[in-house]
Structure 1
């Protein structure tokens, strides 16, 4: 199997968590309203050309991928008074060229929402596709731990990108700075030591917020665990080093079963298998959502009878 070929990405990796739409905050509708206003801040010249005649548009999936971003697509057209009928389930893998959905409404409104809806669906589906593919790779290699994304997301578009990870079947990791306390090198250097940074974080985060510490060596990992970290990220270790360090730490801290070990730094579809070991609880990577190829979709309205007669 080619690791980079989404055509080798079957539906048997799809995870059924129920309707992920229920996760979305109420303000996502305002975000979509802002996107529509950004795309048409004044006159809708193209809309004037086509008018308000009722029409039926077909959404095609032009490249293979996992469908993701359904609630955002739906909301774009709902705000414009259009309706969407889906012919696939979200999270389903499809081959090109596939009729994915039917959208009904005034021609002007269909075209007003077209680009915002397609861009969102394409980006979200691309992330879900890459996430599912990497998940398949690590599972086939025998890894049973957590595969996660990172916070290296696009400002203003994080909700869509994190949603795509979830549809792809991977862990979205922390959503923002308030979701978990992650102490990286800059935090530690500024505070003076790992121990001081962890203690300060615990003083304000209390029992309800987990603390993760990024480390560059086993000695730093030992200090983080001793200070009370919940998660230790072994950052930028090579593939042999990560296995040695993880095994050593698990053995040395066997009594601290609550401490999770995370592996991160430069992991891709091509090298992730080299880093897999069962002593690592979490593999995290930005390669499943940063600079990911979009899934290509198109929305086509039918030709009018007048244009057919003229031909």
Structure 2
């Protein structure tokens, strides 16, 4: 009897261990960044026709409204934009493509919460990079608010973090009178490079909604560190909301980091992007390029 009990005990323990090991989930997220302040800032600009404005809004919508899929297990996850076929005509000019390369999309974001590391492959200006670094640890503050998302009871947590200088979603239009202008341009219809018309905040406040009903230390993008899957993130002007969760899907995903690209740290990658942005700004200064805007006074 004792022998039978021990066999049953070890069988159940082995089964539970394998169940934990094989556990996997999939979550779909819809990411949307509000560009209303930019639209309001340049509405009424005589140099932008209704057709031009409509085209700009359509392109910005494609840049700032995206769908992502998060595949996760107990210790690691991969977060990747859902692939969509686009015609060459819809891709826009160089400036649009350049901005689109750092608006949260592109590449596979792998994070291992056990090792507290992440790996993300990025393509920038025709070059492939493999960014490897340590996960940022946010000082989460647990709030009393609760809400239901997709049938799961979620709890709110907030944190403050430094704004990424290479994430276009964090840019803000400068206030009236603060936009840098070329001295050699006439006062009426002065030309201003796009990068001179925006600024980056030093820090942004994050609001997360997580559910302990899915007890994994995971979330979209680089977010983690809460006692449950993060189903929604309000990151400055960007909202990332989970629209679907599947636990233990029939088809398991391969959760491992990418290996393609030049290995760099996050700091090295940011420095490369910032340098190229400055070069691009100087190249387009005073020209009628795709990144230039005209501000009437």
Please give the range of the TM-score, normalised by the shorter of the 2 chains.
Answer: under 0.3
| Structure in which a larger fraction of residues adopt helix | 1
Give the structure with the larger strand fraction: 2
Q: Scaled by the length of structure 2, what TM-score is found?
A: 0.19
TM-score of the aligned structures, taking structure 1 as reference length: 0.18
